[in-house]
Amino acid sequence: MRYRKLGRTGMDVSAYCLGAMMFGQAGNPDHDECVRMIHTALDSGINFVDTADMYSTGESEEIVGKALRGRRDEVVLATKGHFPLEEGPNRSGNSRRWITRAVEDSLRRLDTDWIDLYQIHRPDESTDIEETLSVLTDLVRAGKIRAFGTSTFSPDQVVEAQWVSERRALGRFRTEQPPYSILARGIERHLLPVTQRYGMGVLVWSPLAFGFLSGKHRLDRPVDMSAGRPALKPTHFDTTDPAVRRRLEVVERLVEVADGLGCTLPQLALAFTVAHPGVTSAILGPRTPAQLADALAGATLVLDDETLDRIDEIVPPGVDLYDPLATTPPPALEPGRRRRPRDERAVA
């Protein structure tokens, strides 16, 4: 397993991070099997585990907490907060009130005294970024978190947060967690240059492109729409859509590249993401032991320049073949905000 510095935090993390989103009712409800998978990952050399309070409504954090008993010091543990876990006002967002409670609840579920990396799961327009940075800085000083970062922030939001940190003498966001894969390379255009400029660590999610690079979905083969990713988002796998067929055609070409290297398509996809100098770690999101085993088997795969050039020919740098954030469009693009009447005075 390869290790890298997590931005400028001084912490060493594995190039592959074990993501726990599929642990619990949303993926694998067998706690014992999930614990064994976490142990398998740790035994293979992974020392970086990422979860979130919203994954299976806290169940994922509880599973991770069980698995790390007696092994906590081996792991750089990351979790996230922002989304509501229950109904009612003041139970979500990035305010001091909610983040303080969310961290305490995560510490309890994870059965730990500290969180190595606490991430803000999404931006919150209703909360001043200074408010969020202030509470996170206080949580570091209190010893409850070691560092903090963001997830799915835009380049301008990253820059604004860094500027506010400097002007207000507050702690900085040290990491960002964006979507990135061979089929969704948009972050190469602006986000990765920004995070590199500020020395931020980058953990990328969905390296298998929402399942398109898993090897299960191939051109002119029927897609099982009853389970897994297709059941969650059927339109994403509608083969009558020309854009979907285009992605499947690209998959066939990538399979040829993987076959030439003697690896699987998922192994190629993961190795591609960590080849970018701006990426620290790729998040694995296994649901089954077999999926984890395949990913771990390719952990030593390093793509040479010739292979990377071939991939660039298939999907050019900076190009998205689908929108990885289609389910969470920027608030500024909401219909009610695109054509609001301006506050203007008529001039006679």
DSSP 177-220: E-B-BTTB-GGGTTHHHHHHHTT-EEEEB-TTGGGTTSSS--TT
The helix or strand, by DSSP H or E, that contains position 5, with its residue range, turns out to be: strand 3-5
Closest CA to 243 of 295, 198, 311, 184: 184
Catalytic residues: 55
How crowded is residue 88: how many other Cβ atoms within 10 Å of its Cβ? 7
CB distance 187 to 319 below 8 Å: no
CA 73 from centroid of its chain's CA atoms: 23
Q: Which residue has the tokens 């510095």?
A: 5
Residue type for 176, please? E
CA separation for the pair 51, 60 (Å, rounded): 7
Distances (CA, A) of 243 to 160, 183, 250, 324: 35, 12, 11, 14
CA separation for the pair 118, 106 (Å, rounded): 10
End-to-end CA distance of the chain: 73
